[in-house]
């Protein structure tokens, strides 16, 4: 082959090698990841599971190491969840406001900023704002194979105002 042909061949080989390298899956070491404030969309609490205006701000997902997800949940005055159970339980950390929670068959209980609730697996409960004040809590919800809540009937006005 001429020198020119050799050069063309060598250039082709280098290009092919580069392509092969680029197609290999990136094997990156595990690294710390920061999700900046303002980059995760809020979710409106669906009317099938909530009464009134409820906003969910997702914080952290369950993963291979940690079997619970976390989110801020903000209930406008009068808003509340439907009755429900958690197959792997749930912690609530009240971060602002004042509201209510109730376990099936038991009296209403008041919640205010700084209170922490543990709801064991399978215990039927609801939680939400008080009639005239908003409530925000972080929900730390156990996750079993992607399943973290079993929704039941909604909390009617009479039940909500029963205290």
Q: Which stretch binds a copy of itself (CB under 8 A): 1-9, 11-19, 26-34, 43-51?
A: 26-34
User: What three-state secondary structure class fits 15?
Assistant: helix
Q: What distance in Å separates the CA atoms of residue 58 and residue 138, rounded to the nearest whole number?
A: 9
Toward a copy of itself, which CB reaches closer, 3 or 32? 32
The yes or no reply on residue 138 touching a copy of itself (CB under 8 A) is: yes
CB of 144 to a copy of itself, least distance (A): 9
The yes or no reply on residue 95 touching a copy of itself (CB under 8 A) is: yes
The yes or no reply on residue 112 touching a copy of itself (CB under 8 A) is: yes
Number of residues that bind a copy of itself (CB under 8 A): 45
Token pair 């205006």 is found at 53
Q: What distance in Å separates the CA atoms of residue 111 and residue 135, rounded to the nearest whole number?
A: 8
**The token pair that represents 51 in the structure block:** 């009464």
Q: Are 97 and 138 spatial neighbours (Cβ–Cβ below 8 Å)?
A: no
Q: What distance in Å separates the CA atoms of residue 86 and residue 122, rounded to the nearest whole number?
A: 6
The yes or no reply on residue 108 touching a copy of itself (CB under 8 A) is: no
The yes or no reply on residue 140 touching a copy of itself (CB under 8 A) is: yes
Q: What distance in Å separates the CA atoms of residue 22 and residue 150, rounded to the nearest whole number?
A: 46
> How many CA atoms lie within 13 Å of 43's alpha carbon, on the beta-carbon side?
13
The yes or no reply on residue 30 touching a copy of itself (CB under 8 A) is: yes
The yes or no reply on residue 117 touching a copy of itself (CB under 8 A) is: yes
The yes or no reply on residue 159 touching a copy of itself (CB under 8 A) is: no
CB of 151 to a copy of itself, least distance (A): 17
**Nearest one of 60, 50, 57, 42 to 129, comparing CA atoms:** 50
Q: Which residues bind a copy of itself (CB under 8 A)?
A: 30-38, 40, 59-60, 63, 65-68, 70, 88-89, 91, 93-95, 101, 103, 106, 109, 111-123, 125, 138, 140, 142
């Amino acid at each position: 082959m001429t020198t020119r042909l050799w050069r063309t061949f060598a250039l082709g080989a280098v290009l092919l090698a580069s392509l092969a390298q680029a197609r290999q899956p990136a094997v990156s070491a595990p690294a710390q990841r920061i999700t900046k404030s303002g980059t995760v969309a809020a979710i409106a609490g669906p009317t099938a599971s909530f009464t009134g205006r409820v906003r969910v701000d997702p914080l952290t997902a369950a993963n291979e190491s940690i079997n619970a997800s976390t989110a801020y949940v903000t209930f406008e005055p009068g808003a509340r969840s439907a009755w429900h159970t958690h197959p792997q339980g749930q912690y609530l950390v009240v971060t602002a406001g004042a509201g209510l929670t109730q376990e099936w068959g038991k009296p209403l209980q008041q919640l205010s900023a700084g209170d922490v609730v543990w709801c064991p697996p399978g215990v039927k409960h609801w939680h939400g704002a008080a009639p005239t004040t908003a409530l925000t809590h972080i929900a730390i919800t156990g996750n079993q194979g992607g399943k973290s809540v079993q929704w039941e009937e909604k909390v009617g006005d009479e039940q909500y105002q029963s205290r």
